[in-house]
């Protein structure tokens, strides 16, 4: 069976999740990726994944353009991307994100090829976002995304949501509840696993994600400063984003802070395995909350306890008090207290919590489990 995986743009890193299931199911299905524009800076991915980059085909020098400009141009090439998908003659089209989905919807409508869509978070909130929340110049883009999402919901035989929380949001936004299914993405527990190497002597607190205010990076700094007076530690930020400059300035003032930037999946695994605790303090952003928090699963698979604001779908990724802690959203004092609790665990207590964390992911949130579910969905979709 041929499965065309489509996405408006494919940037790796950081969107490794789009590759996870095709890699896991490569022995059962024939996959090809189709994107309006792609930027693949990980050499291992570039050498091993079959990706049809429409913009690069239409404009051979496109790789010289800034990534954001390439994404904008790629969004204008839905007809060309749809034609490339149709010429490959897939049995199923799997679209990631309900916006930027024009090519997938066009193939489903014009060619009658069964399609499904995974909603990851921000796309689910698009139908619920009022036009008045955008400045006049931003309203045409929001209107286009609303059309994309509505059309994808209409043509998709199945709408897969990365958490129960996002499934509920999608249904409120127009997805048919009868065709909407929770499909946890899962993590590769063979890749993300505990390390046999010694952890650093100084406890290490890790944040992985977009460096932005909604991700709670400043909440984490405040909590870290409060906890540091009682338990010295290192706080490491991994990722890119608008707050990178502010974090670098904070690191100049507070020497226990470090900003590492974005990392490939292999380097990320090593950083996770060396951490004492991972923290994800995502706050509400407009009407949107954290969709799931896949990095929480990656850390737990490495045997690392986690702390997260109880926001959106994060509660589905942590066993509170067993594999980590959930903290009331935006409660910086409680975040600091839980951070102290994590840092003050004895090595035996931390190992025990880490063991429970990995057992939870292996049993309930593994890529193997998720991929097996997706294989059944593909077969049902194509039948």
Question: Hey, which residues does 181 pair with through a beta bridge?
Answer: 160
Residues 163 and 265 in one domain: no
| Pair 163, 214 in one domain | no
Give the per-residue pLDDT at 278.
98
**Where does the pLDDT of residue 267 fall: very low under 50, low under 70, confident under 90, or very high at 90 and above?**
confident
Please classify residue 245 by burial: count the beta carbons closer than 10 Å to its beta carbon, then call 0-12 exposed, 13-18 middle and 19+ buried.
Answer: exposed
192 within domain boundaries: no
Within a domain: 95: yes
| Same-domain status, 220 and 290 | yes
Q: What is the pLDDT of residue 345?
A: 95
Asked, for residue 110, whether it belongs to a domain, the answer is yes
Residue 200's pLDDT is 80
Examine the domain organization and report whether 323 and 371 are in the same domain.
no
* Number of domains making up the chain: 2
Residues 1-18 as b/e (b if ≥16 CB within 10 A, e otherwise) read eebbbbbbbbbbbbebbb
Q: Is residue 194 part of a domain?
A: no
* Residue where the block lists tokens 């102290």: 340
CA 9 vs. chain centroid, Å, equals 14
Q: Is 171 inside a domain boundary?
A: yes
Nearest CA-CA partner of 173 in 144, 201, 203, 152: 152
Asked whether residue 293 carries a pLDDT value surpassing 90, the answer given is yes
- Kindly state whether residues 176 and 323 are assigned to the same domain: no
Query: With 80 as the cut, is the pLDDT of residue 187 above it?
Result: yes
Low-confidence winner among 101-110, 266-275, 316-325 (lowest mean pLDDT):
266-275
Average pLDDT for residues 178-186, to the nearest whole number?
97
Identify whether residues 164 and 251 lie together within a single domain: no
Tell me phi and psi for residue 242, to 5 degrees: -65, -25
**Confidence check: pLDDT of 75 > 80:** yes
Residue 74 within a domain: yes
pLDDT average, residue stretch 74-92: 94
Nearest one of 213, 232, 207, 219 to 336, comparing CA atoms: 219
Residue 230's pLDDT is what? 93
What is the reported pLDDT for 78?
A: 92
pLDDT at 232: 96
Q: In terms of domains, do 34 and 59 share one?
A: yes
Calculate mean pLDDT across residues 52-68. 88
- CB 142 within 8 Å of CB 131: yes
Identify whether residues 120 and 93 lie together within a single domain: yes
Residue 276 lies in a domain: yes
Q: Is 265 a residue whose pLDDT tops 80?
A: no
pLDDT band at 263 (very low <50, low <70, confident <90, very high): confident
Domain ranges, residue 242: 204-364
Which secondary-structure segment (H or E) carries 236? strand 234-238
Q: How far apart are CA 172 and CA 185, in angstroms?
A: 21
Instruction: Please indicate, yes or no, whether residues 44 and 123 belong to a single structural domain of this protein.
Output: yes
Question: CA-CA distances (angstroms) from residue 213 to 194, 287, 311?
Answer: 30, 15, 15
pLDDT category at 374 given cuts 50, 70, 90 is very high
Q: Give the CA distances from residue 355 to residues 120, 160, 330, in Å, rounded to whole numbers and listed in that order.
A: 28, 30, 28
Instruction: Provide the CATH number for the domain around residue 76.
Output: 3.40.50.2000
Least confident of 61-75, 102-116, 269-283: 61-75
Phi/psi zone of residue 14: left (φ > 0), alpha (ψ -120 to 50 degrees), beta?
alpha
- Average of pLDDT values for 17-38? 94
179, 156 Cβ separation under 8 angstroms: yes
373 plus 360 within the same structural domain = no
Instruction: Mention every residue, 6+ apart, whose C-beta is less than 8 A from residue 124.
Output: 98, 161, 166, 169, 170, 173, 291
More confident residue, 185 or 50: 185
Q: Is 29 found in the same domain as 103?
A: yes
SS (H, E, C) 201-232: CCCEEEEECCCCCCCCHHHHHHHHHHHHCCCC
**Confidence (pLDDT) at 170:** 99
In a domain, 195, yes or no: no
Do 248 and 106 have their domain in common? Answer: no
Average pLDDT, the chain: 94
Chain segment 197-256, per-residue pLDDT in tens: 777 889 999 999 999 999 999 999 999 999 999 999 999 999 999 999 999 999 999 999
pLDDT tens-digit series, residues 330-355: 999 999 999 999 999 999 999 999 99
Lay out the sheet containing 204-208: strands in order across: 257-261, 234-238, 204-208, 277-280, 306-309, 324-327
């Amino acid at each position: 069976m041929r499965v065309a995986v489509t996405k408006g743009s494919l940037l790796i890193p950081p969107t490794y999740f789009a590759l996870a299931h095709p890699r896991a199911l490569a022995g059962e299905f024939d996959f090809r990726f189709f994107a309006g524009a792609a930027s693949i800076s990980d050499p291992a991915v570039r050498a091993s994944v079959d990706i049809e980059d429409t913009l690069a085909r239409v404009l051979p020098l496109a790789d010289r353009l800034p990534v954001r400009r390439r994404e904008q141009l790629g969004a204008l090439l839905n007809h060309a991307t749809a034609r490339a998908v149709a010429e490959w003659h897939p049995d199923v089209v799997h679209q990631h994100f309900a916006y930027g989905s024009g090519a997938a919807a066009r193939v489903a409508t014009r060619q009658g090829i069964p399609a499904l869509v995974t909603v990851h978070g921000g796309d689910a909130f698009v139908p619920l976002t009022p036009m008045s929340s955008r400045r006049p110049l931003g309203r045409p883009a929001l209107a286009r995304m609303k059309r994309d999402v509505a059309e994808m919901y209409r043509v998709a035989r199945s709408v897969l949501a990365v958490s129960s929380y996002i499934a509920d949001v999608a249904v409120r936004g127009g997805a048919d509840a009868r065709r909407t299914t929770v499909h946890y993405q899962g993590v590769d527990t063979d890749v993300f696993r505990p390390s046999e190497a010694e952890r650093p002597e100084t406890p290490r607190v890790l944040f992985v994600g977009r460096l932005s205010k909604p991700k709670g990076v400043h909440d984490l700094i405040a909590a870290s400063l409060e906890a540091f007076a009682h338990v010295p530690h290192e706080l490491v930020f991994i990722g890119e984003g608008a707050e990178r400059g502010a974090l670098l300035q904070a690191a100049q003032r507070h020497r226990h802070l470090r900003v590492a930037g974005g990392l490939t999946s292999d380097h990320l695994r090593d950083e996770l395995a060396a951490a004492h605790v991972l923290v994800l303090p995502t706050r509400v952003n407009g009407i949107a909350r954290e969709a799931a928090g896949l990095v929480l699963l990656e850390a737990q698979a490495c045997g690392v306890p986690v702390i997260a604001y109880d926001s959106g779908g994060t509660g589905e990724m942590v066993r509170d008090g067993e594999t980590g802690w959930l903290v009331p959203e935006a409660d910086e004092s409680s975040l600091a207290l839980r951070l102290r609790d994590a840092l003050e665990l004895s090595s035996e207590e931390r190992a025990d919590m880490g063991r429970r964390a990995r057992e939870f992911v292996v049993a309930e949130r593994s890529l193997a489990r998720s991929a097996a579910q997706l294989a059944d969905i593909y077969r049902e979709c194509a039948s």
